[in-house]
Structure 1
Amino acid sequence: MGTRKRPEELRSHRWYGVDDLRAFGHRSRMLQMGFSEADFRGKPVIGIINTWSELSPCHFHFRTRAEEVKRGVWQAGGFPVELPAHPVTEQYMKPTSMLYRNMLAMETEELVRSQPCDGLVLLGGCDKTPPGLVMGALSMGLPFIFVPAGPMLRGNWRGKTLGSGSDVWKYNAELRAGNITQSQWKDMETGIARSFGTCMTAGTAATMMLACEAMGLTLPGASSIPAPDANHPRMATDSGRRIVDMVWEDLTPAAMLTQGSVDNAVAATMAFGGSTNAIIHIIAMARRAGLELDLERFDTISRRVPLIANLRPNAGEALMEDFFYAGGSRAFLKRLSPHLDLAAKTVSGRTLGDDIADAEVFDEEVIRPLDRPIQAEGGLAVVKGTLAPKGAVIKTSAADPKLLTHTGPAVVFDNYADLKKRLDDPDLDVTADSVLVLRSSGPQGGPGMPEWGMMPIPQKLLKQGVRDMVRLSDARMSGTSYGTCVLHVSPESHIGGPLALVRDGDLIRLDVPNRRLDLLVEEAEMERRRAAWTPPVRRYERGWTSMYLDQVTQADEGCDLRFLEAGAPTPEPDIY
């Protein structure tokens, strides 16, 4: 594939290949660890960025997968080095893992810049690790390949197939409504997550792994392999072998990624019925690559791309294990090929079209034909209006179609603590026609934009049989969630966006077909409220959170840090 690098052109040569005092120290320390000079000198040094942690069940197999990647690197004549990075665990981090996505991005970039790496293998999968790792690697600019964690096995409980996240919300509503017992709810804990790996619904993890593959950043088919499947370790080893060749070929992101690569990621997300979180992440990734992407581009692609993955929490009952058996990501992308840039390059060294040329669909109900989609448009939509001047998003494929055009009175919660305190109050003035409004949940208000946007249905409405209603916030929601939830309202309430000025009883109009979200309050009244509004008191004055609050952008901009999102790469030091 064209001119190959010479050993003296490797970045690591500046550490190991020259004859000076500094290189003497570098080589001697490698010898100290039991390696011989023949192991590392004149070979591509491959940094394996590993987000393994004993508090990361999605990545619990990465301790083993890292060794399998190393096997491939050794086989291809490279030298693997494992570099632990922030695991950004979705399940346990408070107030939200999103607060730390940018920390992982910065850590990835600086880990690599400061050490003798020629290429990278990124081990991630749980929601924020794919974008965090990729953002940092894109900014660093070295050849890299992403190894997705893969989804866990299907859940099982009393003969029912369970989907992580989605069935938690479903059965919790039934528990609160009094339709299942506390004992049954407790028993479900042992069956809903049966192996290591990410959520097996079409949530954020599955969406982002697929988006990375569609963008050309994984080996063909890698994103849909279940984590416990024997194909998964083989894929990890194949990735280790491939990255060595990528270094010799100098296949950097700049040499590979185009606007078509980004559009492919968006189209795949829409046809998958993917997570609303993907909008924020893919915008941030595109900007790190110096490519254009905004909410309007998402909505344009969504209007022309049909939803063809029949998975939970969308209309279907299938899970990611079923998606894999139906042909997986390669078959899905092959079916979507009329809407993709097939000339876009991938880490395989070929084009996306080449990578999926022989793929087949084996279950037409799980991966639908283009002429028999779940819905004619993609699963996500962008709305704008007086309540969201810079946009908001909604997962239409997981909403009640009757509520996609709706006008109702606001029931306002000032923050999440207020929501928890008052939501189930029998005296709460709420009906099925109300619009639940939550503020102080955006990038700054959370802080970190927590997944609070799928507000529970008030208990008294659950007992009346209500299972969906319009909910509106500047928060995010889990990709495994469902319901008519309008999210990412921008600008957020914390910085004085219109959401900050909504009062109980104000009429809110949602019109998804016409992409509108409006607060039906006279402008003169809004001006009076705006003049009386005072900014919230800042709660964080030190550490990472303080830096984050100073630099984070709004949801429509990708929630990156301003000093990281664009511009030339940080210069490498002249002296090693």
Structure 2
Amino acid sequence: MSDTNKKNVKLRSAEWFGTQDKNGFMYRSWMKNQGIPDHEFQGKPIIGICNTWSELTPCNAHFRKLAEHVKRGIIEAGGWPVEFPVFSNGESNLRPTAMLTRNLASMDVEESIRGNPMDAVVLLVGCDKTTPALLMGAASVDVPTIVVTGGPMLNGKLKGKDIGSGTAVWQLHEEVKAGTLSMHEFMAAEAGHSRSAGTCNTMGTASTMACMAEALGTSLPHNAAIPAVDARRYVLAHMSGMRIVEMVWEDLRLSKVLTREAFENAIRVNAAIGGSTNAVIHLKAIAGRIGVELELEDWTRVGRGTPTLVDLLPSGRFLMEEFFYAGGLPGVLRRMGEGGLLPHKDALTVNGQSIWANVVDAPIYDDEVIRPLSNPLIQDGAICVLRGNLAPRGAVLKPSAATPALMQHRGRAVVFENFEHYKSRINDPELAVDANSVLVMKNCGPKGYPGMAEVGNMGLPPKLLAAGVKDMVRISDARMSGTAYGTVVLHVAPEAAAGGPLGAVQDGDWIELDCAGGRLNLDIPEAELAARLAAREQAGGNAMKGGYQRLYVDHVLQADEGCDFDFLVGSRGSAVPRHSH
């Protein structure tokens, strides 16, 4: 960028640091107590580093080191870095669910960026909700933004074999309940389950959203898959720091990247990687903040017919290490583009190039991990959107994690009124359930839990596990972890706690699931359904009477709308009234 062009760009930070008056004096003076020399305030872009580091968020616990490499890149490119913390909603420890605080974190991010002297921001993300939360907050401000992910952890190990973080827990626990694995062996697996810094190494929500950030064009190529402890992760952080400074001079704001075309690319990519159902909610929320119309139908219209090419747990066999070594997301994008499956090759990315220019020559080293179109893992891996009298506003199912024979199914409901009821009832040897039954759980949606916890992949009744049953149809208004698997219908909208038809289901009702036809129906007369709903008291959820949970329940939108707060939808821009001291 020439000095002439730079002179034409008005730095946002100059509103704080660029005046020779009382206000400029005070802003610069206070910052100088950190040992910052005067020349750093003279026409240099001030780059915020939005850090979700926390020892309570193990996936992001290495971000202090990651931030230092970003800073090196910013300084090398002629900017000045300012690191700041935001709420870190870690999936593994936070109760009742990290989804409850995704919107809270996004508010923290939005107000931190808008209210402070920064010209652009680097988002340090990793654990499931930190990626959408930070992108949502940044989208509502719309300054130049680049995403740097912390990366997946190394492969887990058990008895000399690889195991996937997250997914292995579900599998091993089911084996314990079935009586095929001892508790001693189960506990022994814990030590090798999470053996390095980083996020889950399966295609769970963390890896999915890292891939979504890259597919949307908000990160540099290969950001999604480089292992957390690989030196190349720190090189990428350094290069991202350099690039964000150039983005300031180019005025490459987030709204120029997060276009309708970018979201349609991401929908296709989610199918190709066997991505998490959580991406449906998060992409809708991000799109809502930047002003892009995105509907559940788009997942069918755009995604339908996209094969799953990545053979990765929980859908396939391998883990994120192998995915990176095989070529990572650029390899997938190249395969898609060559097969006519990348709808918008000219979509702009944060490095200033189109997404196709970034990957047209991307190497693919392993056809087992990143499969050719002629040999997909699943012929159609698009998220299955379901509608019917049980889900008037929609529900979703992940085909790549489901049992094909169950994707068209009719069975009698076994109903749990809430998660506590499920836990108290599922182990009962007298429970009237068989392999053909449909497990139904209510009141676990956005308002009902509250926060829409990842409890939708209900564990099967032990008596059926012991008989060799591996999967059953399960339906709820909850979410499930991206690391989980099974024929699980999720995000039923409206949820039971908001008066949705799910709340009217009773034991013994016939339910029909037809993924190919996109239907989810409760087989009772319309008049009876209406009468049941009229007689039903609204559950209202388990929220606190006051505090943030009350705010959440009062303002959260339904799953088909992205579970954002009604008052947060839209981009409010970066302008802020000047404060005179």
User: Shorter-chain TM-score: what band?
Assistant: over 0.9
Q: Is the 2:199–2:206 Cα contact (8 Å) retained in structure 1? A: yes
Query: 2:42 & 2:463 partners in 1: Cα distance?
Result: 69
Q: Verify: 1:169 aligned to 2:170, yes or no.
A: yes
Deviations 1:16-62 (A, max 9, x none): 11011111111111221111111233110000000000111111110
Report the CA distance between 1:391 and its aligned residue.
0.6
Partner of 1:144: 145
CA 1:4/1:559 → structure 2, altered by over 3 Å: closer, same or farther?
Answer: farther
Deviations 1:119-138 (A, max 9, x none): 00000011111110001101
Report the CA distance between 1:228 and its aligned residue.
0.6
Partner of 2:230: 229
Q: Is the 2:290–2:571 Cα contact (8 Å) retained in structure 1? A: no
Report the CA distance between 1:379 and its aligned residue.
4.2
Query: 1:322 & 1:486 partners in 2: Cα distance?
Result: 29
Report the CA distance between 1:283 and its aligned residue.
0.8
Q: Is the 1:272–1:379 Cα contact (8 Å) retained in structure 2? A: no
Query: 1:569 & 1:519 partners in 2: Cα distance?
Result: 45
What is the DSSP-based 3-state SS (H/G/I as helix, E as strand, rest coil) of the residue aligned with 2:270?
helix
Match of 1:495 among 479, 498, 503: 498
Deviations 1:349-404 (A, max 9, x none): 11111111210211111111112212221242111111001110001111111111
Q: Is the 1:302–1:381 Cα contact (8 Å) retained in structure 2? A: no
Report the CA distance between 1:4 and its aligned residue.
3.5
Q: Is the 1:5–1:250 Cα contact (8 Å) retained in structure 2? A: no
Partner of 1:412: 415
Partner of 1:544: 548
Query: 1:537 & 1:496 partners in 2: Cα distance?
Result: 9
Q: Verify: 1:429 aligned to 2:456, yes or no.
A: no
What is the DSSP-based 3-state SS (H/G/I as helix, E as strand, rest coil) of the residue aligned with 1:121?
strand
Q: Which runs of 5+ in 2 are unaligned?
A: none
Alignment of 1:105-504 (within 5 A): 105-314=106-315, 316-337=316-337, 338-340=340-342, 341-504=344-507
Report the CA distance between 1:514 and its aligned residue.
0.8
Q: Is the 2:156–2:162 Cα contact (8 Å) retained in structure 1? A: yes
Report the CA distance between 1:483 and its aligned residue.
0.4
Q: Is the 1:90–1:127 Cα contact (8 Å) retained in structure 2? A: yes
Report the CA distance between 1:525 and its aligned residue.
1.0
Q: Is the 2:300–2:382 Cα contact (8 Å) retained in structure 1? A: no
2:261 alignment partner AA: G
Query: 1:168 & 1:160 partners in 2: Cα distance?
Result: 15
1:277 alignment partner AA: N
2:554 alignment partner AA: D
**Stretches of 4+ aligned residues off by more than 6 angstroms:** none
Deviations 1:274-298 (A, max 9, x none): 0000000011111111112111001
Q: Is the 1:143–1:243 Cα contact (8 Å) retained in structure 2? A: yes
Deviations 1:126-155 (A, max 9, x none): 111111000110111100100011111001
CA 1:300/1:158 → structure 2, altered by over 3 Å: closer, same or farther?
Answer: same
Q: Is the 1:259–1:292 Cα contact (8 Å) retained in structure 2? A: yes
522-531 or 3-12, which deviates more: 3-12
Q: Is the 2:477–2:496 Cα contact (8 Å) retained in structure 1? A: yes
Q: Verify: 1:557 aligned to 2:558, yes or no.
A: no
Report the CA distance between 1:569 and its aligned residue.
3.3
Q: Percent identity?
A: 49
CA 1:379/1:481 → structure 2, altered by over 3 Å: closer, same or farther?
Answer: farther
Q: Is the 1:7–1:43 Cα contact (8 Å) retained in structure 2? A: no
Query: 2:291 & 2:360 partners in 1: Cα distance?
Result: 29
Match of 2:570 among 548, 566, 569: 566
Q: Is the 1:257–1:344 Cα contact (8 Å) retained in structure 2? A: no
What is the DSSP-based 3-state SS (H/G/I as helix, E as strand, rest coil) of the residue aligned with 1:410?
strand
Q: Is the 2:139–2:571 Cα contact (8 Å) retained in structure 1? A: no
Report the CA distance between 1:571 and its aligned residue.
4.6
Query: 1:573 & 1:124 partners in 2: Cα distance?
Result: 29
CA 1:254/1:567 → structure 2, altered by over 3 Å: closer, same or farther?
Answer: closer
CA 1:8/1:431 → structure 2, altered by over 3 Å: closer, same or farther?
Answer: closer
Query: 1:329 & 1:385 partners in 2: Cα distance?
Result: 35
1:561 alignment partner AA: F
Q: Is the 2:494–2:501 Cα contact (8 Å) retained in structure 1? A: yes
Q: Which runs of 5+ in 1 are unaligned?
A: none
Query: 2:255 & 2:58 partners in 1: Cα distance?
Result: 33
Alignment of 1:37-116 (within 5 A): 37-116=38-117
2:327 alignment partner AA: G
Q: Is the 2:305–2:382 Cα contact (8 Å) retained in structure 1? A: no
Give the TM-score of the pair, scaled to structure 1: 0.98
Q: Verify: 1:23 aligned to 2:24, yes or no.
A: yes
Report the CA distance between 1:257 and its aligned residue.
3.1
Query: 1:159 & 1:70 partners in 2: Cα distance?
Result: 39
Deviations 1:153-179 (A, max 9, x none): 001011221011111111101111111
Deviations 1:301-327 (A, max 9, x none): 22131111111110x211110000111
How many aligned positions are there? 575
Query: 1:514 & 1:418 partners in 2: Cα distance?
Result: 32
Q: Is the 1:7–1:13 Cα contact (8 Å) retained in structure 2? A: no
Report the CA distance between 1:6 and its aligned residue.
2.6
Alignment of 1:503-514 (within 5 A): 503-514=506-517
Q: Is the 1:155–1:164 Cα contact (8 Å) retained in structure 2? A: yes
2:172 alignment partner AA: Y
Report the CA distance between 1:91 and its aligned residue.
0.2
Q: Is the 2:304–2:380 Cα contact (8 Å) retained in structure 1? A: yes
Q: Is the 1:142–1:253 Cα contact (8 Å) retained in structure 2? A: yes
Give the TM-score of the pair, scaled to structure 2: 0.97
Q: Is the 1:40–1:78 Cα contact (8 Å) retained in structure 2? A: no
Deviations 1:223-250 (A, max 9, x none): 1111111100000000000000001111
CA 1:4/1:575 → structure 2, altered by over 3 Å: closer, same or farther?
Answer: farther
